Structure 1
Amino acid sequence: MRLLSFLVAAGLLAASSAFAADPVGTRTIELPAPARRATLQVMVWYPTASVGTLVPSGKDKVFKETPALKGAAIAEGSFPLILISHGSGGSIANLDWLATRLAATGFIVAGPNHPGTTRGDSTPLDTTKLWQRAADLSDVLTALSADPAWAPHIDGKHVGALGFSLGGHTVMAVAGVRVDREAYARYCDEERTMADCVWFSSGTVNLRSADKHLFEQSNRDPRIRSVIAIDPSVVRAFTAESLRSIDIPVHIINIGRPETIPVAVRSDDIAAEIPGAEYQTVDGAVHLSFLAECRPEAPDFLKSIGETDPICEDAPGKPRTRAEIHVQMAAMIEAAFLADFARRE
């Protein structure tokens, strides 16, 4: 409970015995997305005073699920809000391992399934529409802040965003990063074997055909006051001017030893351009280690459906389990958000 005590002492959470056992509730809701003229499926995790049996759905054949109390009442008080963004071809449920830990600490955590880049509906063409994902996060924040069921529980002065892989770019975009379409196209001309470039090539997507105005526009959302990007993609297209203009705390985490981090996501040079940014690496892990732990039968299932990505594989030699990696990364993430929000007091 040390982190929770810190939040209470900092005035970011109301002191309440409801948190003694760190219970977490979860709901899946539909929220309006004006930018898409549609709705978004959003998962929310939050502190709750309710008690009950934690039963995972068991529907996912690949990933272990982290159970929470479905539909439980939200605990009394207001809480910092963390928006999370999944990677290309992923889903928000893949990050439940992190979301439940943050909610147990005393955050409300919310994240959408980004249409067009979510597991089961992802396409190379939709992946180029980077601006849509940034708008998704802003639309989720707007909707929750206006919803009478959620608004009283959200501390609007302490809103952060965290993203993984393509989601890492998404949260950097709401922090103020802008991208250069031609720079991204040149990168894929030169780095054809990088995963993102292979993906675009598989759909015969010409990056130079993407809408230049929308691709390069600012998607900054000043309501978001702290950002953590995990192995962010599209970094080779970030503009130096926009990086130097960021005025909120930014933390970038690369997974793996420096010599093993792919150029597609390596961000030490990016962090160096951002005033006051923190850059860290996580040894003994690989990019996909950030996903939820795999079920024991997952490798055989993935092989049976022709999946070629090493979804369940961690660093060669398995120096650490995925569970151990998650413990370290969750602690890093919690510490970063707590420090940033405390500085705003």
Structure 2
Amino acid sequence: MIEVEKAVSSIEGQSSFLKPNEVLMRLTTAFTAFFSVFIATACVFASEVGLQDIRVFSIERGSALAVTIWYPSKGDGEPALVGENRIFEGTPASKNASIRTGRFPLVMLSHGSGSRVEGMAWIARVLAEAGFIVAGPNHPGTTSGDSTPAATPKIWERTEDISTIITALVSDARWQASINKDRIGLLGFSLGGSTAMELAGARADLDAYARYCDDYPAMMDCRWFEGGRGFVNNKQVTVEKFDLRSIDRGRFEQSNRDPRIASAVLVDPGLATAFSPESVKSIDIPLTFINLGSIGKIPVAVLSDRLAKQVPNAAYAQVDDSDHFSFLPICKQGAANFLKSVGDPDPICEQGARRSRADIHEELAILIRQAFERHAAQLDAKAWSSALLEGHLRDQARYSGCVASKQCSDRRFRHALQASGATSCRRSRRRPSRHRQRPRRSEQPSRQQSSQPMDRLKPGASPPARDFRGSSCRAGR
């Protein structure tokens, strides 16, 4: 839950106090940006990444959410740069392009505190090029220009934003035919990682979170609660210290699980020390945790290796020689000096002797794309094995009754059936036809021929078929 783009909001208010040479510098920057649009045009049409901005009404918020969608397109839209501002470079896309024919998995985005979904455009483009539809909102109360300490811990509002948008997209005629509703993932960064954790099934612990800030008052998120400044309507305002223990405990600790979300990738997730261990252990979807930084240099606020060990199906990776701000878009030349000149305390654009942000983005892009592809493969394998098993048993007449009632089991398939919800079985009895002729003794295979030991089978040979007529019919025996 680290602050990432509040500097952009504070910079917005500096324009009326610019000196003549600063005005010239801004005009030069604007002129350069103008030509960069033309240069980026070729990239837009080459990548064929479509872009649409929509609004989705939220009952929880009582207002409409601003949502940006990236998708595989036919490249017939207007060239655009997403997320370009005084500090960050933009990412090219093809605005209002026609969506490519097909059915694509959906990845929802949840940005960090004080940031915007446009700041995730660089990774959204990577995923759209890989065949994903990608969508995300600007979360009110925790976005650039609209962010206060009191609104920041209200994770339940963020989770409701994501669920509301999923409902809107899968029921909208413009998108429902293109979205694979069984393959909905979530990518969250920082406070967005907290959002992803809760949508996956984790529940926050208010006492644990308050103790964390008592123990680590110098952490960026805890300093934010000390008050001093906030942002409302794109203007900086003075705010008082916020007491974490004044949060609505019931809402802060409620379950926000959305069963439609099938997997998630979490980059430097906030509240890493403040989730109930029992709820984390009960998460039943694949997760991938990614930390930015070398061993020993990752802030405890987002260090998630322990979370990865608690989640039953989770992977963990870390990106060396990076930091929390490395996930943000690539900074423009001179941005670091400009941020210092306006008094911003965070090293948003400082690189030093470390890797370039572009290089870090390349590694992150590979990790995130492969994570979602791996999650999809796991889900496909699970669905395939479940369907294969059910089909196998359904085809056997003696099991038809219990398969239909979802209460069939067999020694060979016991574990798979238990995983798919089966509990016990009452085998349907089917007597053989009286008119079926038995083969003559001379035609019956000998016992020696049909009992070849498994360890004596030649490579590539199939084992002899088993007869399950004598098997137990109750799972767990």
Question: TM-score, normalising length from structure 2?
Answer: 0.66
Higher relative contact order (CA 8 A, sep 6+): 1
- Which whole-Å deviations, capped at 9, do the CAs of 1:65-121 have from their partners, x for residues lacking one? 111011111111111000011000000011111001110111000010000000111
Q: Please say if residues 127 and 369 of structure 2, whose CA atoms lie closer than 8 Å, have aligned partners that are also in contact.
A: yes
Q: In the comparison of the two structures, how many residue pairs are matched?
A: 324
Which ranges of structure 1 fall in alignment gaps of 5 or more residues? 1-19
Residue of structure 2 equivalent to 1:296: 333
Residue among 123, 138, 155 paired with 2:163: 138
Query: Structure 1: which 4+ aligned runs deviate by more than 6 Å?
Result: none
Residue of structure 2 equivalent to 1:214: 251
Q: Please say if residues 51 and 94 of structure 2, whose CA atoms lie closer than 8 Å, have aligned partners that are also in contact.
A: yes
- Structure with bigger gyration radius: 2
Q: How does 1:1-345 map to 2 (within 5 A)?
A: 21-51=46-76, 54-56=79-81, 60-202=85-227, 203-314=240-351, 316-318=352-354, 320-345=355-380
Three-state SS of the structure 1 residue aligned to 2:329 is coil
Q: Please say if residues 289 and 313 of structure 1, whose CA atoms lie closer than 8 Å, have aligned partners that are also in contact.
A: no
Q: Please say if residues 234 and 264 of structure 1, whose CA atoms lie closer than 8 Å, have aligned partners that are also in contact.
A: yes
Three-state SS of the structure 1 residue aligned to 2:258 is coil
Amino acid at match of 2:107: I
User: How big is the shift at 1:187?
Assistant: 0.8
RMSD: 1.5
Three-state SS of the structure 1 residue aligned to 2:225 is helix
- Which whole-Å deviations, capped at 9, do the CAs of 1:11-60 have from their partners, x for residues lacking one? xxxxxxxxx95410111111121221211001100000124663426851
Residue of structure 2 equivalent to 1:6: none
Amino acid at match of 1:96: A
Which ranges of structure 2 fall in alignment gaps of 5 or more residues? 1-44, 228-239, 381-477
Q: Please say if residues 77 and 98 of structure 2, whose CA atoms lie closer than 8 Å, have aligned partners that are also in contact.
A: no
1:146 and 1:304 mapped to 2: Cα distance?
A: 48
1:159 and 1:187 mapped to 2: Cα distance?
A: 32
Q: Please say if residues 106 and 184 of structure 2, whose CA atoms lie closer than 8 Å, have aligned partners that are also in contact.
A: yes
Question: TM-score, normalising length from structure 1?
Answer: 0.91
User: How big is the shift at 1:300?
Assistant: 3.3
Amino acid at match of 1:98: I
2:82 and 2:285 mapped to 1: Cα distance?
A: 38
User: How big is the shift at 1:304?
Assistant: 3.6
The percentage of aligned residue pairs carrying the same residue is 48
Three-state SS of the structure 1 residue aligned to 2:79 is coil
1:339 and 1:267 mapped to 2: Cα distance?
A: 20
1:235 and 1:120 mapped to 2: Cα distance?
A: 26
